Amino acid sequence: MTSTSVTSTVRSGSGAAGPLLGVLAFALYATHDTVVKYLGASYSVFQIVFFSVLFSFPLIILMLLQDPTPGTLRARHPWWNLARTVSMVSGWTAVFYAFSVLPLAQTYAILFATPLLITLLSIPVLGEHVGMHRGAAVVVGLVGVLIVLRPGSADLTLGHAAALLAASCSAASSVIVRRIGREERAAVLMLYPMVASFVVMGALMPLVYVPVAAIDMAALALVAALAFSAALCIIAAYRRAEATVVAPMQYSQMIWAALFGWLFFSEIPDRWTMVGAAVIIASGLFILFRETRRNVSVNQPVLATRLPMETAAASRAGLLPEHEPPAFDTRPAHR
């Protein structure tokens, strides 16, 4: 029996486990973002990113210790890794800022444009041909972004620009992983951006640091723990179900955003935010199912192409390498 058939057997025999784990993962991410928004009222985004990365290091090291892939931490594609590292550091900072200053639902609506941007970037970076149907879906999805932003009739702020930058950086990072993910070790792809974030944010700390209350330090540790737990759930979900089943679960975050925004920040999504989000989600789902069912993409679907820990500050789309889930196995030992 081939490895592909084994994977298919495992996935097909897991029933609802895959999508349920996906729902749980994205609920954890939504909770993560709610805590970030709470912290953003008192601390600079640079300070929040610094401590969240600091608390993430021990968890990531534990995960990487399970990686059986031979090799060193030397990148095989240094320039692509540099571009991805810049994208991720910028994206982490931008998305933390967006969550700090924008309503949760509005931030998610903009971030949900990431798969559309991945489709566009796959043309120059991956040499992929995007036909009329997928091209039209991208255009419709970008119209949805304009509906959310409503330029000319609503004030556009630095927070909106940050959310758009975060979506763009997440898309760039994902496309780079699709290009080099088969050849780079997971340890390289995960550690380089984290180390860079720690160094850059650490250098900025003297300019922005304010003393952290004990309860807020616990909240910062919680941010790291939530991201790590959600990443494990995502890995387990993709080991138990196909991308077309798990990836759409990311859109459940809009429900959590509306609930948490109302409960903790007195936010009520306006009509146009929900209409725009619906358009963006429909476009993303169309692209996902068309890529998967019609085999029009030589790469994996746009919602299943990233690495687990990117989701701590991206669009929470699963973030797995383009060919298989990483070697960090979360399946039961008796498999």
Residues of the chain predicted below pLDDT 70: 1-15, 67-71, 152-154, 291-335
pLDDT at 75: 84
Query: How far, in Å, CA of 112 to CA of 313, rounded?
Result: 13
> Which of 62, 61, 43 lies closest to 51, judged by CA?
43
pLDDT at 306: 39
At 90-100, the pLDDT tens digits run: 999 999 999 99
Instruction: Report yes or no: 32 and 108 within 8 Å, Cβ to Cβ.
Output: no
Query: How far, in Å, CA of 44 to CA of 173, rounded?
Result: 24
The pTM is what?
A: 0.82
Q: Where are the domains of the chain?
A: 16-313
Query: How far, in Å, CA of 302 to CA of 118, rounded?
Result: 6
Residue type, 76: R
pLDDT at 292: 65
pLDDT at 317: 37
Residue 335: CB atoms within 10 A of its CB come to 8
Query: How far, in Å, CA of 301 to CA of 199, rounded?
Result: 33
SS3 213: coil
Residues near 152 by beta carbon (within 8 Å), at least 6 away in sequence = none
Backbone angle region of 318, left / alpha / beta, with phi > 0 → left and psi within -120 to 50 → alpha: left
Task: Name the H helices within 41-157.
Answer: 45-64, 78-101, 104-111, 114-126, 132-149
pLDDT at 6: 39
Token digits of residue 150: 């409503």
pLDDT at 149: 85
